[in-house]
Amino acid sequence: MTSAIDIEPTSRRIARNVILLIGDGMGEAHRFAGQLLAVGRDGRLAMDRLPVSGLMNTMCVDPTTFVTDSAAAATAIATGVKTINGCVAIDSHGRQQRTILELAKASGRSVGLISTCQITDATPAAFAAHVPHRADQSEVARQYIERVGVDVILGGGGAHWFPTGRALPAEMAGASHWRGIGADGDLVARARELGYEFVCDAASFQASLRRRRLEPGGPLLGLFAAQEFFVQTAEGLGAVYDPPVSLADLTSAAIDTLASNPNGFFLMVEESAIDRMAHQNNAPLTLKGVLELDRAVQVALAFASRSPDDTLIVVTADHECGGLAVAGSLDQPYPYEPGGGLLDTMLAGEDGPFPVAGTGYGFVLGWATTGHTAAPVPITAAGPGAERLSGSIENTDLFDALVVAMDLAEVAVASGCA
């Protein structure tokens, strides 16, 4: 097939490091609403200050729909091949596809995965596992540690790493007293056998980081919740997003750990609450998810500022969720337009008002659905190879751009990817 992998300019800079940040379900309206809340109409979130911008199409090749789920979307990004919903790094014919993380690992780079959801859920899974259905989370975990050797694994979903019925560590289980639901044995014990350090709360995590600053450590497995870092419901029904460790802190720790490799690293960071709360039309916690991601972007940018010539940062989404719209809460009607009147500024499923930072007025959010949509999602980037991500692109183009940016063409060809 013809792809950007085949284009090899001789004078270009190489991205030794790549940090890919994915806001699950985050469309243009989600980003704009986060901007209004945090920095106002004339401000910019960190993710929107990156110099290269574009729009990324998200359609899958599922024969029953054009709207993607996270598994198919992440597979397209991670492998450059579109697939059907539910499949993880496997194409529509059932063939496994080599991922960008696996190519980075084969090049000698260190690799990491972070998520505020189950670390074995669809989006991170598509970068380092191959399963026919995203529900096979214990098998995903096994492949992370046994097949790929992901160097840093940080997130939730600890229940999938312990055998069914096994009591989880108290720090992880919380008040709900979760037990293991895994189908592949004690994968935490297996990870330890393979040299992983295991941590499951903020205190042990910080202790590990302090030790690692003094001397190099091995691979790191951090599981901080039995499932997600949040409780997803509609507003007023017990929804909570109070992460045990912030996404920004996880990102900082992963970068510090991975950056010790002189060959560089690849890191995928997912903020999942945007999608899960949008599924519930929970606007306040959807916005919290956007701003949690933006703090992680700030961490990535701070690192890149110390290594600007060889670090590529990309911020995007796998798909849009909720059909979100943004309107002013005090807008005047437009009687001079056909059909104008008081109904002009009313939104279906309206949430708010929320304050616009630095002003005396607010904004409201309206939802079209509790599901995903096929709307294109924004993509912004900075660093070597970022220019390939401007304009209108397909989600599969992101894989090609990362292969070229990291100079992985020969590895990709050897793996049958080009």
Residue 151: closest CA among 259, 18, 297 = 259
Angle between the N-to-C axes of helices 28-38 and 283-306, in degrees from 0 to 180, rounded to the nearest 10: 80
Q: What one-character-per-residue DSSP string does 325-377 give?
A: EEEESSPPP-TTSTT-SGGGG--TT-EEEEEPTTSS-EEEEE-S-SSEE---E
Spell out the residues 6+ positions from residue 103 whose beta carbon is closer than 8 angstroms to its own.
403, 406, 408, 411, 412, 415, 417
| Spatial distance between the Cα atoms of 276 and 280, rounded to a whole number of angstroms | 7
Q: What one-character-per-residue DSSP string does 146-187 give?
A: III--SEEEEE-GGGGSBTTPBPPHHHHGGGT-B--BSSS-H
Residue 47: closest CA among 388, 358, 292, 329 = 292
Q: Tell me which of 3, 70, 252, 272 is the catalytic residue.
A: 70
Residue 148: closest CA among 205, 198, 110 = 110
Dihedral pair phi/psi, residue 43, rounded to 5°: -90, 180
70 given a catalytic annotation: yes
Distances (CA, A) of 162 to 120, 123, 138: 13, 21, 9
Q: Which residues are catalytic?
A: 70
